[in-house]
Each structure stands twice: as C-alpha cells, then as structure tokens.
Structure 1
Amino acid sequence: MPRAASAVLLVLTSSPALAAVEVAPMVISGTRFEAPVDTQPFSVERIDLGDARQGHPGIDLSEALQGVPGLSVQQRHNLAQEPQLSIRGFGARSAFGIRGVKLLSDGIPASIPDGQGQASSFDLDTLDHIEVLRGPFASVYGSNSGGVIQLFSRDGTGDPRLLAGSTFGRWGTRRHHVGVESGTDWGGLVFNQSSLDLDGFRHHSSARVDKRFAKLTVTPADRRLALIYSDLQQDDTQDPQGLDWAAYRRDPRSNSANTLLYNTRKSVDQQQVGINYQQDLWTAQWQTTLYGGKRRVVQFLSIPRVVQQASATQAGGVVDFERDYYGLHSRWIQPWLVGPGELILTGGLDYDVSVDDRQGYENFVGDLLGVRGTLRRDERDEIRSLAPYLQLAWHGEQLNVQVGLRHNEVAFEVDDHYVVAGNGDDSGAVTYRELTPSVGAGYALPFGLTAYAGWSKGFETPTLGELAYSGEDGRFGFGLRPATSEQHELGLRAALPGHGRLQAAWFNIRTDNELVVAAASGGRTAYQNAAQTRRRGFEIGLEQPLGDYLQARLAYTWLDARYSKRFSSQGQVIASDNRLPGIAEHSFSATLAWQPRDDVELGLEAAARSAMEVHDLNRDRAAPGYALFSSYVQFEQRHRAWILRETLRIDNLAGREYIGSVIIGDGNARYYEPGAGRTWYAGLSLEYRFGED
C-alpha cells in the first residue's frame, strides 16, 4: 500500500473529531432490499442525481461515474464503441462493449448471459441515482460480475411537470431533450425523448443518437408495479478507431488509411420493455422482474480486402446480427426479528436468454470499398443462464453479517449455417456450472467507525466470440474453461463531522485460467486458458463539507495488477510479473464545489492517472499518465411555476494532449485512442410545474 494512502487513512481514523458524529443515512438497494450504506459489509458507492450532473451534457454513462474509488472510466470519445469501464481491473481487457462488470437499469440486465454488456441505451435525463458495488459481494449477481453498476430512474411524483433542455458544445455537439413527469397517490409517469448530434473531436467520429424512455408506476396499498420502455436508434455512427504511436504524435485527431477507405461505422436499433412487480405478503416481500427486447447491430470494420480473400475461414468485414433477449428475475425476501437484531433471508432465481441471428459479409464489392458484399458467416447463437441463489443477512446493533450462495449455469449453443469448402461446420455447444459462495461481516466501532471484511469466489465464462474458434482446426472451443477468482477485502467506513463520509478498502484478488490469445490467423482468433493473475490494491473515497458553502470529494485507487504465471501466446512468452494491460496503477480524482446560494454552484475538478501498458508483453509504448482539470458553473432562477437553469462546463482546461483509452493487444499496434482537447458545453433547461402559479 502506498505510504501516502496509509498516512491519510491513519490521520482521518485517529482524529478525535470523529467522536459522536451523526450522519444522515444513505440508503442502497443493491443488496436486493433497502439498507443503509454505512451498515453494509462491502464496498459500495451511491451517486445521486446532483453529483452526476455537474454541467455534463449527458452524452454517455461515463460522465456520471467519475470519481468512484476502484472504478476506472476511460473515455474513448467514440460513440461507435462503449466507454471502457473496469472495476478493480475486471473488464479492462474488453475490446468492445463492457465486460466483466454487471450492468442493470431498474433491475433489468444490460449485460447478456456471457457477460458482454452495453450502456449506450441508458437514459441519463431520468436518472435518480446510481449504485456501484465493488468487491466480493458482487458474485451474488452471477458469473462475469467483477463488480455491479445499477442505475435507478425516477418515479413520477407530484403535480405534472414539463421539462425541456438543449446543450451546445465544441466539436459540433448539439443535444436536446423534452420530457414530462407526474404522480399521484396511486402511481406516476415519466417520459423523456432526447437527440444527440456531434461531429466529434476525432476526424471520422460523427454520431446521431436518439433515445426514448417511458416509465409508468402503479402503487396501490401493499403493491408496486412499474412498466418500463426504452428505445435507442443510432444510425451510421462513425468509428475513428485507434492510432499507432507515431500517428498519435503527428495528429491526435487523425485516422488510419483503412478507417477512411472502408468507412468504418456502426448502426444500432434497440427496443426493450420491462415489468417490475413488488408485493408485500404478511411480513415478507415478493419481487419479480420480467423483460424482453430486440437489438439490431450493423458494423463495418476495416479488415482489408486481401485478408478476407486469403482464407475461406475469414468471417468478413461487416458484422450484422439481430438479437432477441428476455428473462425473469424473481425473489422472496423474508425478515424475522431475532433477539436484538433482524434476520433477512432472500431466495431467488435468475433466468436470462439471448439469441442472435448473426451474419458476416465482405466489406467490398469489386473495387468499391466500405459496402456490404458476399456472405461469409451465417449462424444462430444462443446463450442461456439459470441461477438460483440464497442470501442471508443479520443486522444487529453492532454486527452485520451477510452470506450468499449462488449456483450458476451458463449454456452456449452455436448452429452454423455457413458450411463451404475450406470452412467446416463450426456448430457446437457447451455448458458451464459453478457454485459461488460469498461472506461478509461488518462491525460498528466507537467514534463513528465501521470495519468490514469480505471473501468470495467467482467465475467468468468465455464469450461466444472467444468460444467460436478455439477448438481443434478452428472448431467450437468445447475445451475452454471459465476463469475462476477468489477475492478478499478489508474495509473501513467513518462518519465525519458535518455529514462527511470516508470509505477505505484493501483488496486482494487471485484469478486462475484467464483467457489469452493462442493463435490469430485468417481473421479468426483462438483462445486458451493459460494465465494466472493477481490484483491487489487500496482505494479511498472521501466526501466532506468545508464550512457552509464548500463541498470536497476525493477518490484515490492504487491497483497492482500482474500476471503471476508465465505463459505463451502466439509464439511469444509472457513473463511472470508483467503488468496487466489497460490498468493504471494509480488514479485520482477530486471535486471542489462552492454553493454560496441555492441557485448558484461553481465547481473545479481534477483527474489524474498513471501510465497503462497496452500489450501483455509490456514492450510497446505505454499510454502515458496525465492530469486534467475541468470546471463548471450552474445557475437557477424560479418564477412562480417556471424554473430556468443555465450551465457552462469546460473540460481539459489546459488543452492537454493525452490518451483517453487503449485498445489492448491490437494486431496493427493501433492501441491509442486520443482524448479530446479543451472542450466547452453550454446548456439551458426549462421546467414548468402545474399547480404552482
């Protein structure tokens, strides 16, 4: 553990000012029942709407997740790809989408059963709060859960409200939204529609994104029903791709030649509906979530024509799939008063299904590049996950214990319809089963302190893409095993004067059977179980008022992530003790907010990160570390039923060149995704509240 971090923790926890401190309880529901944050025996962060806004334009989820200890948010500045999110190193290797971190919105998974997830459909305009769960207890959410990010939308409450807003910014950013919210004693309604247009910091990075969200809640007596609908349309979003180091140094806004020749781009069309039902039955509660959706993706890659023509096994340069997905999550929560405390038993079942009708095409016709050509892939992919689980929680006056046990079964099946000379039948199926236990305990100490400890086992299945070609002769990879992990955590919380909070945690994670590349040729990548890794680290988060008008928030993470066993990949030896790529050893963020009146807020933010390796070999140029500063100001005026809000935000105040994200192990050494230069946003929103004239 770094000496500076140890000193900070020692000073804060030994201060006599901690005595007899009372802090308003902050409630979470990530335990599947509502409970105060300060009593939980695991690391968790709650981000409320006000902390998530701070003048941000609402482009993607990464804006709301800055400053969470243990959570790395790398901004690609590329809406054709998801922001790169990782928790304590889980998810850092994802080449696209979000992997290794479970995503949920109003209880509905945004991750398919193999762990691949997308956050692009989340609607930030209707956000109430976010919960970020880190550490051992995340395993109760199933396979591929190195951490959990849950978003909760607002319920419609109070008299009807009309809302509208627009944001304009550098790099051709234009965002508009309109909405309505209303509620009565029997329920409420929330509706929002938004559109985003931007030219982008990088050349060839323009995007158009349209979203719709609707939520109807019905709350008679001891029941609650919520109907939730979301819609995402994203047509021809340009993909600027990564750069090699020389190209980045010449012009961070540039693109590779093939990016432009093949007009790399992506289109997404997604609709989803969900039902949340909750009913109190005697002293117990029954909760059920039903959901279903359809997602269509068409993506044009930059794989050169000569590569596709060289092998019959090449799947082409156009990805085209239509996905149907659905699921059922149901649980029974039974509390009992036992002696001086409360015992809560939760028993549940999660069932999730994802079915893809997937094709691949050449990205050329004759000499015409960047168009749909000849069929090169045609298959049906199905993933099913079935997971019963039990959770037992004891809440005493000082002691809080939680135990979890989950049986995970994840089944994969591929039905290959593209069988031609030189490209055999790649059909196959495999099922993984694993029992994952977890246990945690917290104890209330004097002076407003709570100490906690946790342990768990977890596992991460391969994705369909990793299984597809990892067997003999490029067949389906029946022999691949899931990566298994064991996590340990020790933590401390403190209630500080003036409603301040401190949370610090040490963690150690050992993982076996990590997947690594075994071979890559003919457009197919085969994987093998070879790597053992260790992740150890320390994280600290602090939120503290400084007088009547100032509020400070700090977050620091030290993460030492390395391979603990040598292995061979593509004919090269990866040495033991090499750093895991895509993970910074040090990361820091700070916010100082000044609010002299209820209608004015000014803020200054800082974010810093150390260097990151880009390849398992640790030989290529690491992405350099950086320090960035941002500022924002928010104003509000009220007149009868009208509320007018203005915001101004400037990111990267010094206009520094930096690497925002990396593409790990890119075969063309185009690892680097540049961050944007100095960027400004100006926003104006208007709200009208009926019944307040």
Structure 2
Amino acid sequence: MHPPHIPSFALRPLAAACLLLPLLAQAQGAPQQAAVLQAVTVRSTLAQSPVEQTPASVSVLDGEQLRDRQWQVNLSESLGGTPGLLLQNRQNYAQDLQLSIRGHGARSTFGVRGIQVFVDGIPATMPDGQGQTNHIDLSSLERIEVLRGPYSALYGNASGGVIQAWTERGQGRPSVQGSFALGSNGQKRLGLKAQGEAGGVGYVVSASRFLTDGWRVHSAADKNQLNLRLDTQPREDTQLTLVANHTAIDAQDAGGLTPAEWRADPRATAAGPLQFNMRKTMRQTQAGLTWERRLDGASAVRATLYAGTRAITQYQSIPVAAQKAPTSAGGVIDLGRDYGGLDLRWAHNAEPQDGEVGLIAGLAASVVREDRQGYNNHLGDVLGVQGTLRRDERNTLSNLDPYAQASWAFAPRWRLDAGVRYSRVRFESRDHYIAPGNGDDSGDARYRRLLPVLSLQHAWDARTQFYASVGGGLETPTFNEISYRPGGLAGLNFGLRPATSTSAEVGVRQRLAGDGLLRGDWSAALFHTRTQDEIVPAENAGGRTSYQNAGRTRRQGLELAGTLQLARAWQLQGALTLLDATLREGFCDAKGNCVPAGRRIAGTARRQAWLALDWRPDSQWRAGVEWRHLGSIAANDSNSVLTPSYGVLAASAGHTLQRGAWKLDTFARIDNLTDRQYVGSVIVNESNGRYFEGAPGRQWMLGLSLTHQF
C-alpha cells in the first residue's frame, strides 16, 4: 500500500495532534465534573461490538445530536462532520443529496450511487447500486452509522461505504410532541410525534411537512413524511419489530448554471428549466417486519422481510430539437417501481472472548420490478406538458447474496475477522417501444463476484485499539448506464463491465476517559483503494447517454476525527479528510476527447475539514459554533472546471424549559454567518457545462417544540 500524496505542511500538525492526544489524556490536572462517556455499540458490522472493538472506520451519530437546532429535513445538516463523507445539499428537492464516501459515488449526476443505504434494515439502494436518502425521517431517528473502508464489502454491490439509519424505539410513559420552525426563503416545517409503550407494545409515530419557496428561482418544494415503528415481545426470547414509511415530494427543479452564470448571479436559473417547467413528484411507501429469537445463550436468528412501491414523474428541460431523434427517450420520465426482499441471519457467539470463535451466516435477496415510460415534454408549441410516448419498457433487477463471517479471539488482545459475500446481480429488460430508427433494446445481463474481507485488530490497552483490514469490492453498472450502447445500437450495453476494487486500511482508535485533563475519543485511518474498469460516460447523442469502462483509478487518503470534553460545559469536535482520487490510466470517449492519466476523479475534493464548539452550562441552555471547509471539486473528467474552495461559519443557541409534564424547547440558528458565496453542489460532467448549483447566502431559522408526557 503506497502512502497517500499529502502535503507535508498538512501532515505535521496532524501527526502532532495524534501524538499529543494520548499524552494529554494522561496529564493530571484539577478534578473536573466532566460528562460521563457513554458506551456505544456499532450495528453496521455484521457482528455487533463496542465502537472501540470495531475493526473498521465507523462513525455513530445519535438521533438527538442530529436533531438539535436543525431543520430535521436533510442529512447534510448534521453529517457534515463525518470524516470521509462528502455530503452536499443541492438546495434542489427534485434531486437527492450529492453524496460520496472516500470518492465512491462522486460521479453520480442524480441519486446516490456506489454506496449502500439502509433504513431500519430495508435497503434504500436497489440491486444495481442506485439509491436515495430523501425518505429518511430525521425527527424519529435513534441513530445513524456511517461505515467506510474494506469492511463495507460485506454488503455486496456498490459498497464504497454504508449508511445505516434506525428509527428510535418507543418505550416508557407515552408522550406527544409538536414542533414548528421557520426561516429564510419561506422555509417552514411542522412536525408531530407520539411515542411510548402501552400493553406491551412500544410505538413511535412521526409526521412532518416541510415547505420552501426556494433560494433560487424555480426551486420551491413541498415534502411530507410519515414514519412508524412498533415493537413487541410475544415471548421472553422473541422480538418483533414493524416499521412503515411514506414520503411524498413535489418540487421544482432549477437545474445547474455555468461558472460564468453562477458568478454573475448564483440565485439565477437558466432559461430551459423555466420554459419547460422542470419539476418532479415522488411518492414512496414501504414496510418491513423483523423477527428475532435467541435460541440459547450463544445463538440467535433474525429474519427481515420488506416490500415497497415508488412512483416518480419528472419533467426535464431537453430541447424539442433533441427529442426529434428516433432514439430519444423524450423529456418526461414516468417510473413506477415495486420492490421487496429478505435478509435471513444466524449468529453464534457473535462477540467472542479470548480463545473463542464467533460465526455469522446469512442470505440477502431482493427484487425490483419497474415500468418505465418516457414522453416528449411538449405538445406542439406548448412546453412542459406530457406529449407523445418515446420509451416503454419493463425492467427487473434482482440479487441473491449469501454471506458469512468468522471472528476468532486467538490471543489476549488480538482478534482476527474474516468474511465473504458472493454477490450476484441480474438485469432484465423487455422493450415495448419499437419504432423506425429505434430498435429492440431488450436484453439480459448478469454480474457475479466473490467479495472477501480480512481484518486484524489489537487492543493496545483497555482504551486503545489498532486495526488493519483488506477487502474486495464490486460496483455494477446501474440500469441507466447499461440501457444504451454507443453508436445508437440496439440492446443493452453488454460490453460494459462492472468496476472491481481492492481496498486496504490501517487505523487507530482511542478513548480518553481517565481522570486527566481531557475526556473524549479520537480516531485516525489511512486508506488505499485500487479500482479496475471505472465506469464513465462514452457518448451523449440522440437523447441517450451511453457509458464505457475507463481503466484503473486510485483513491487514497487520511481521515482524522475526535471529540474532546474540554471542561464541564465545553465540548470540541473536529474531523479532517485528505483524499487523493485520480485516474491511473487515461481514456477517450466515443468522440475522441481524451482525458490523460493523473486527472482527479470528477466530483471529488482533496480536502475537507469541520470544527464545532459546543457550550452547555446546565440542562437548560446550550449554544455552539461550527466551521466547515471544503476544497475545490473537479466538475468534469478533464478537470478544466473546478469549484472555488470555501469555508463557512454557523452559530446556534437553544433553551429548554421543563414544567411538570410539559417541556418547551426553543432555538435559533444562523448559517453562513459571513454571507459567503460558494457552490453548494456540482452536477458532474453536465453536457451543457451547467455544473454549478449555488448555495444560499446568510440564512436564519427559529424553532420550537412542545412535549407533554402523560
């Protein structure tokens, strides 16, 4: 594993910080009433374990932390401090957040790609690796875990990283909470949540509505969510959990701007989105049931079944002239999708002690059936309406993946973990739109690969752990990428190969929990990934985009994260990511435009940093400031366009008043205090050069919640 190319001026302070933290932990000072550090159990690895004993880079974020002084609408609000994770709010609710982990998923122009997302055990990533996050209900979350590195390969296809979200469990006395927040650009959020336990059934029901006029022209949105969780124990050794979720979004789409247009007016919208009234409606409903049973003191089984439906109608601003090509799919997408699946798992002694072996075996399967139609986005001279049918197909995606893991505590303070997953993904398309110049695009494709993971960890002492891991990875083409062949040929793009990778990581994690000057925790990780057959655009012609394999790429870097309790009332958190993501081999597209080796992978930034200082003098008052820095992002493969780097500052304060069974919580927040103009997200390789989506200037918000406990 070659060390990442990181400037020495950046490494010196980081290395000093890594050395000083454990020394400071041993320093003796005046006794302080520091907050007690809570034990944290990681669930994203197959074998659940305390975070200090997890052989992987993982960040755990508590639900209360995610909600505190936030809108509770987007993951980007509170996950910006997660090392290795680049998460940008597009200020465009017709598109999902731009999300990548260690450079995986950075090339995605819509949705989430290359990363596995789960909500209450239900995959939000389809078998082809395309997913979304806009149905995650932040107001009822218990926690989110972000898993990075080789270990994530145990989740199969598109596992450049894993994001897992869990709804909190209802327990204790019943309570009802109402909340309201408002802010800049007509933003308003209404929320209602009930939770508790009655008759042996724990319940959480959460409903919310978010409205915004949009910061940019033509970016208004209306988002509605309903989330439910029920828990019960029919027997002492058995647990049943039912989850259900519904999300409805109606949003205008402002599209992107060229760099010149953005510099002239970052709030502007190009003519196309206005003329064609670019917009999107989305409706999704899903439910899942998990059954868990302890067989004896050392073994347990778990089964999860889920099903859902998703409907999308999206109007694009494709010019009328471009839709005249016989191969054009039009400018309106009409998609209906039904999906379902299961995950069966058996575990024996999953947390082995010295000399013991833990075993886990399971089977994950899912199937997606979608009806996809495309229509012209005009009728005669009337633009922005559904016109003539141009695409009609029935697609089926499926996967069937057995997996297993063994953990062996072969010596005191040493543990070896080995895992494997056999990932099998199948595509099938039946084309029902066959016209002159537009042939039959029906076809089938299958991908399969064995994904091994091996990790070794050593507990230096009760608070310090070192680990090293290596694993394989697979990223199949998504259905959109395999749908068309270069040159306008009919049929699926069978020549497009999946991207395969080998990843390695070494890391250290330490808990500072003594009686010394500082309390908290910190972690550091060096990572290196080599990928073969990276998938990139090949041709954009006749209203169709086809893809090809680009050859070898490399992603390597350094992650640092830490939390320090400086005094009784003060807490400092920080995270730093340095990433070198480059092409190791050049490539040329179908038109002969070539990108040489050494160029940065589009959509990636070489550095990002986050600092937050929080003040909590008592149980009533809290306040904080946070700073976020992001280096320039490559907007296209040639790296001819880069976003400006930036740093933004935010401040917030809150107060909690408890009177008997009533609790009133109020807060205020200001984002982008210095009114900095910066690019909020990038539309990678946008064919018209409109790469930039501007971020808002200074923004304010006020909110309150009122809770009554019965």
Structure 1 length normalisation: TM-score?
Answer: 0.97
- Contact 1:18/1:447 (<8 A) preserved: no
| 2:433 aligned partner | 418
Distance across 2 between alignment mates of 1:336 and 1:361: 52
Q: Does residue 1:658 correspond to 2:683, yes or no?
A: no
What code does the residue aligned with 1:592 have?
L
How far residue 11 of structure 1 moved from its aligned partner, in angstroms, is 4.1
* Aligned-pair CA distance for 1:64: 2.7
Q: Report the counterpart of residue 583 of structure 1 in structure 2.
A: 604
2:524 paired with 1:524? no
Would the aligned equivalents of 1:20 and 1:447 in 2 still touch at CA under 8 Å? no
Once the two structures are TM-superposed, the CA of residue 185 in structure 1 deviates from its matched residue by 7.8
- Over 3 Å counting, the alpha-carbon distance change for 1:375 and 1:185 in structure 2 is same
One-letter amino acid of the structure 2 residue matched with residue 512 of structure 1 = Q
Matches within 5 A, 1:676-691: 676-690=696-710
2:120 matched to 1:113? no
Matched, 1:605 2:626: yes
Q: Secondary structure at the match of 2:311?
A: strand
Question: Secondary structure at the residue paired with 2:151?
Answer: helix
For residues 346-365 of structure 1, what are the structure 2 equivalents within 5 Å?
A: 346-365=360-379
> Residues of 2 paired with 1:496 and 1:339: CA distance?
24
Distance change (3 Å), C-alpha of 1:151 and 1:215 = same
Q: Of 565, 581, 596, which aligns to 2:617?
A: 596
Between the aligned partners of 1:42 and 1:9, the Cα distance in structure 2 is 21
Give the AA of the match of 1:270: Q
C-alpha separation between the residues in 1 aligned to 2:490 and 2:575? 45
Give distance in 1, aligned partners of 2:252 and 2:25.
Answer: 53
Deviates more, 1:494-503 or 1:604-613: 494-503
Letter in 1 for 2:502: E
Q: Secondary structure in 2 aligned to 1:65?
A: coil
2:23 to 10, 16, 28: 16
| 8 Å CA contact retained: 1:23, 1:495 | no
Task: Pick the aligned partner of 2:498 from 459, 479, 482.
Answer: 482
1:171 match: secondary structure:
helix
SS at match of 1:677: coil
Aligned position for 1:161: 175
- Distance in 1, matches of 2:419 and 2:682, equals 35
Tell me the SS of whatever aligns to 1:531: coil
Aligned pair in 2 of structure 1 residues 523, 389: CA closer, same or farther (>3 Å)? same
Select between 49-58 and 283-292 the one with higher mean Cα deviation.
49-58
Indicate the residue corresponding to 2:460 in structure 1: 445
Q: Deviations over 1:641-668 (max 9, x none)?
A: 0000001111100111100110111110
Question: What's the CA shift string for 1:71-117, capped at 9, x where partnerless?
Answer: 11111111110111110000111110111110001111011111111
Please point out which of 307, 316, 319 is paired with 1:292. Answer: 307
Structure 2: gaps of 5 or more residues: 1-5, 29-35
Q: C-alpha distance in 2, partners of 1:263/1:221?
A: 57
Higher mean C-alpha deviation, range 394-403 or range 568-577: 394-403
1:129–1:257 distance in 2 versus 1, CA, 3 Å: same
CA contact 2:45–2:151 (8 Å) conserved in 1: no
Q: What CA distance in whole angstroms lies between the structure 1 residues aligned with 2:647 and 2:78? A: 19
Query: Does residue 1:554 correspond to 2:570, yes or no?
Result: no
Q: Which amino acid aligns with 1:565?
A: E
Report the alpha carbon displacement of residue 187 of structure 1 after superposing the two structures with TM. Answer: 3.1
Residue 157 (structure 2) aligns with: 143
Partners of 2:145 and 2:375 in 1: CA distance: 40
Q: What pairs up with 1:201-600 in 2 under 5 angstroms?
A: 201-219=215-233, 220-235=235-250, 237-282=251-296, 283-309=298-324, 311-335=325-349, 340-395=354-409, 397-446=412-461, 448-470=463-485, 473-497=489-513, 498-569=518-589, 570-600=591-621
Structure 1's unaligned 5+ residue stretches are none
- Name the aligned partner's letter for residue 16 of structure 1: L
Deviation per CA, 1:496-547: give whole Å up to 9, x if none.
2444111000011110001122222101111111231101100100100011
Preserved contact between residue 41 and residue 401 of structure 1 (Cα < 8 Å) = no
Is the CA contact (8 Å cut-off) linking 2:626 and 2:649 kept in structure 1?
Answer: yes
C-alpha distance in 2 between matches for 1:26 and 1:20:
25
8 Å contact 1:286–1:331 — kept in the other structure?
A: yes
What is the aligned partner in structure 1 of residue 3 from structure 2?
A: none
Letter in 2 for 1:567: F
> Which of the numbers 98, 102, 106 marks the counterpart of 1:84?
98
Give the TM-score of the pair, scaled to structure 2. Answer: 0.95
Judge which range, 179-188 or 356-365, deviates more: 179-188
CA contact (8 A) 2:66 2:72 kept: no
Question: 1:446 Cα deviation (Å)?
Answer: 4.1
| Structure 2 partner of 1:647 | 667
The reply to whether residue 63 of structure 1 matches residue 77 of structure 2 is yes
User: Displacement, 1:582?
Assistant: 1.1
- Assess if the C-alpha contact under 8 Å between 1:167 and 1:682 holds in 2: yes
Structure 1 residue 245: Cα displacement: 1.1
In 1, are the aligned partners of 2:552 and 2:583 still within 8 Å (CA)?
yes
For this pair of structures, how many residues does the alignment match?
687
Corresponding residue to 2:110 among 71, 96, 103: 96
Matching residue of 2:635:
614
**Does the C-alpha gap of structure 1 residues 336 and 449 become closer, same or farther in structure 2, counting only changes over 3 Å?**
closer
In the aligned structure 2, how far is the partner of 1:66 from the partner of 1:391? 31
* TM-aligned CA deviation for residue 17 of structure 1: 3.6
Distance 1:95 1:619 in 2: 18
2:542 alignment partner AA: G
Q: 3-state DSSP class of the match of 1:596?
A: coil
Q: What per-residue deviation string (whole Å, max 9, x for no partner) do you get for residues 354-394 of structure 1?
A: 11101000000000000000000000011001100001123
CA displacement, residues 275-330 of structure 1 (integer Å, 9 cap, x when unaligned): 11111111211111100001000000000001101x11000000001000000111
Per-residue deviation, 1:199: 0.4
Cα pair 1:90 1:100 within 8 Å, conserved? yes
Distance 2:308 2:89 in 1: 27
| Contact 1:76–1:675 (Cα < 8 Å) also in 2 | yes
Higher mean C-alpha deviation, range 63-72 or range 17-26: 17-26
What's the Cα RMSD here? 1.6
